[in-house]
């Protein structure tokens, strides 16, 4: 019994303190900095990657010394490392679920009679609109592609569409009256925008009508689905172009509704196959968008910073002039507001309970190391920090690999700057990579020679960074002691330039990764070093 109390006091209670303390402190920072102050951090970074990385800090400082109190024989494997990983999973799983649920739990629903009432009020997360008009005629569109996977084997196309939201149809007044015999209710389509029972159509002057047509029920159903079962009346007006309309009306647009379409395929396909897939995807997305009833939703979600929101913002920035500094972008939600959290709150407690139970069972299995218990210092925090500092000093003394460490550190620093600039995390848009200095042969040929240097520090995403730094490290530990500091810089920059150029070619859909060239380059460099050339 005394043995059990010792395990609970010295190992299990510190685990609970680390888990509860990290979840509470990280959630508080997330609420203050991201939700309340709206720092422009990517949603995936805040919800997944930051808690996954930061949770290791208290685990290594407080739990790692406690694991030494157990007698773990690691001849058949790294059992202390396994215990650390299980503790990390038990902490990070409920933390991630809490961050996913937190914005929904604290988000308030604001009811507006019309969308223009949002101006001048404190912003909330969710909105219910009584009167509105979503314009399909004058949209902002942005097309992008991303590569993903260990070897960039997946390619995904995205089309992000932002539609302006008005109080009513701009430029009209009065009430549209149509006399339809036989009690039929045909669908009324004005400039490609289908009306419904929630949309109050307005008067159109005869001089503003460019064309007028009537579709029979069969044709209307084929295009608009069940809404066209009684036929459709198609009205085309003499409206100005998209750019002029969006530019002139930007000041009266109170918000934008975002819709994203995506399509994935293998990045190993040929360029012709990718071009065909992209054209087919664009045509399919256009058809789906025209058929979609944008007014069919219960409430709107003012989305946080994410890859989707970045796509909508780029669409607006490339189409709309006089755009506000922080345009309000929504996504439609077609479910009751009370169901917004789903099963996430329950899974938070389930994940915490399962992790705590597994950890309890694991610390009860091995024997206690009484000698380590007597050595446990009173000021555990200072002792643990001192131990971590001594471990890091090993890298400072390894002068044989200083250039490699500096280059890897600069690559990590540039990647973090790109992440906190809101460009992404798992992958970056090809245009963003180009803006940050990626190598692209046509631009280099035009005189942008500096891209041959900057491309060394620019990566296409997390997996690209990890795989490149992994290969860079294991190549450099053999080459730097032989080459010396000056020659290794030339060699490493050459290898990284080849890797980065091929990765950007993948991102821009103009080629495939040719990793074999990197290995040929390394072999050539090694032979030069051996022959003292």
Rounded Cα distance between 503 and 147, Å, is 9
**pTM of model > 0.85:** no
By CB neighbour count within 10 A (0-12 exposed, 13-18 middle, 19+ buried), where does 222 fall? exposed
Of 128, 158, 153, 125, nearest to 141 by C-alpha is 158
* The CA-based dihedral angle spanning residues 199, 200, 203, 209, taken in that order and rounded to the nearest 10 degrees: 10
- pLDDT for position 418: 82
8 A C-beta contact, residue 334 and residue 299: no
- pLDDT for position 351: 94
469-492: pLDDT as tens digits: 877 777 766 666 666 666 666 555
- pLDDT for position 58: 92
Bridge partners, 134 (sequence order): 165
Gyration radius of the chain's alpha carbons: 30
- pLDDT for position 527: 47
Number of Cβ within 10 Å of residue 457's Cβ equals 19
- pLDDT for position 19: 95
Q: Could you give the C-alpha distances from 462 to 150, 314, 415, 425, 470, in angstroms and in order?
A: 10, 22, 8, 6, 12
Rounded Cα distance between 170 and 147, Å, is 40
Domain boundaries of the chain, sorted by first residue: 2-106+341-392, 133-294+299-333, 401-530
By CB neighbour count within 10 A (0-12 exposed, 13-18 middle, 19+ buried), where does 26 fall? buried
Residue 326, token pair as written in the block? 């922080």
3-state DSSP call for residue 255? Answer: strand
- pLDDT for position 479: 67
Could you report how far apart the first and last alpha carbons of the chain are, in Å?
A: 71
- In the 8-state DSSP scheme, what is residue 122? P
8 A C-beta contact, residue 70 and residue 11: yes
Of 329, 286, 338, 282, nearest to 304 by C-alpha is 329
Q: Per residue of the chain (533 residues), what is the pLDDT tens digit?
A: 668 888 898 899 999 999 999 999 999 999 998 888 888 788 888 899 889 989 999 998 888 888 888 888 765 556 888 899 999 999 999 999 999 999 999 989 999 998 888 887 888 999 999 888 888 878 899 998 887 776 678 889 999 999 999 887 765 444 444 545 555 677 777 777 776 433 444 445 566 677 777 888 888 887 777 778 888 888 777 653 333 333 333 345 779 999 999 999 988 888 889 999 999 999 999 999 988 889 889 999 999 888 889 899 989 988 887 788 788 999 999 999 988 888 888 999 999 999 999 999 999 988 888 777 776 665 555 555 555 555 444 444 445 567 777 888 888 888 888 877 767 666 777 777 888 888 777 888 888 888 888 887 888 777 778 777 877 777 766 666 666 666 666 555 554 444 444 443 433 333 333 344 444 444 444 444 444 44
Q: Could you give the C-alpha distances from 347 to 43, 215, 292, 463, in angstroms and in order?
A: 20, 51, 34, 29
Rounded Cα distance between 225 and 208, Å, is 28
């Amino acid at each position: 019994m005394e043995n059990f109390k010792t395990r609970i006091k010295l190992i299990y209670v510190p685990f609970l303190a680390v888990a509860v303390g990290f979840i509470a402190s990280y959630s508080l920072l997330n609420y203050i900095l991201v939700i309340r102050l709206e720092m422009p951090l990517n949603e995936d970074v805040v919800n997944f990657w930051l808690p996954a990385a930061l949770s290791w800090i208290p685990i290594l400082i407080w739990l790692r010394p406690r694991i030494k109190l157990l007698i773990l024989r690691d001849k058949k494997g790294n059992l202390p490392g396994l215990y650390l990983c299980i503790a990390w999973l038990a902490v990070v799983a409920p933390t991630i679920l809490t961050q996913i649920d937190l914005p929904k739990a604290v988000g308030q629903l604001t009811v507006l009679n019309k969308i223009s009432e949002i101006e001048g009020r404190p912003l909330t997360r969710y909105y219910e609109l009584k009167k509105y008009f979503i314009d399909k005629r004058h949209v902002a569109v942005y097309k992008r592609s991303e590569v993903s996977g260990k070897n960039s084997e997946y390619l995904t196309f995205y089309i992000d569409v932002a539609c302006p939201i008005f109080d009513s149809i701009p430029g009209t007044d009065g009430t549209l009256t149509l006399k339809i015999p036989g009690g039929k209710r045909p669908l009324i389509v004005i400039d490609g925008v289908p009306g419904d029972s929630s949309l109050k159509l307005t008067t159109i002057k005869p001089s503003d009508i460019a064309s007028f047509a009537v579709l029979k029920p069969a044709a209307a159903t084929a295009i608009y689905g069940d809404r066209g079962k009684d036929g459709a009346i198609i009205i085309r007006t003499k409206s100005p172009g998209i750019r002029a309309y969006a530019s002139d009306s930007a000041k009266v647009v109170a918000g934008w509704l975002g819709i994203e379409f995506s399509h994935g395929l293998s990045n190993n396909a040929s360029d012709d196959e990718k071009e065909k897939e992209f054209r087919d995807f664009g045509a399919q997305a256009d058809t789906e968008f025209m058929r979609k009833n944008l007014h069919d939703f219960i409430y709107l979600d003012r989305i946080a910073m994410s890859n989707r929101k970045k796509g909508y913002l780029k669409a607006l920035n490339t189409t709309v002039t006089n755009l506000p500094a922080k345009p309000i972008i929504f996504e439609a939600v077609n479910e009751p507001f009370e169901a917004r959290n789903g099963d996430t709150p329950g899974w938070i407690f389930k994940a915490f309970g399962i992790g705590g139970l597994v950890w309890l069972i694991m610390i009860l299995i091995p024997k206690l190391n009484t000698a380590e218990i007597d050595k446990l210092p009173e000021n555990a925090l200072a002792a643990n920090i001192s131990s971590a500092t001594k471990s890091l000093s090993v890298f400072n003394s390894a002068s044989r690999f200083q250039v490699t460490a500096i280059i890897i550190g600069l690559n990590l620093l540039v990647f973090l700057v790109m992440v906190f600039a809101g460009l992404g995390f798992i992958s970056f848009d090809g245009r963003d990579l180009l803006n940050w200095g990626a190598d692209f042969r046509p631009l280099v040929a035009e005189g942008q020679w500096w891209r041959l240097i900057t491309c060394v520090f620019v990566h296409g995403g997390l997996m690209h960074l990890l795989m490149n730094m992994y290969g860079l490290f294991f190549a450099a530990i053999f080459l730097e002691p032989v080459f010396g500091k000056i020659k290794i810089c030339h060699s490493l920059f050459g290898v990284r330039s080849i890797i980065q150029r091929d990765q950007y070619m993948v991102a821009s859909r103009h080629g495939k990764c040719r990793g074999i060239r990197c290995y040929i380059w390394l072999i050539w460099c090694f032979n030069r070093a051996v022959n003292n050339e």
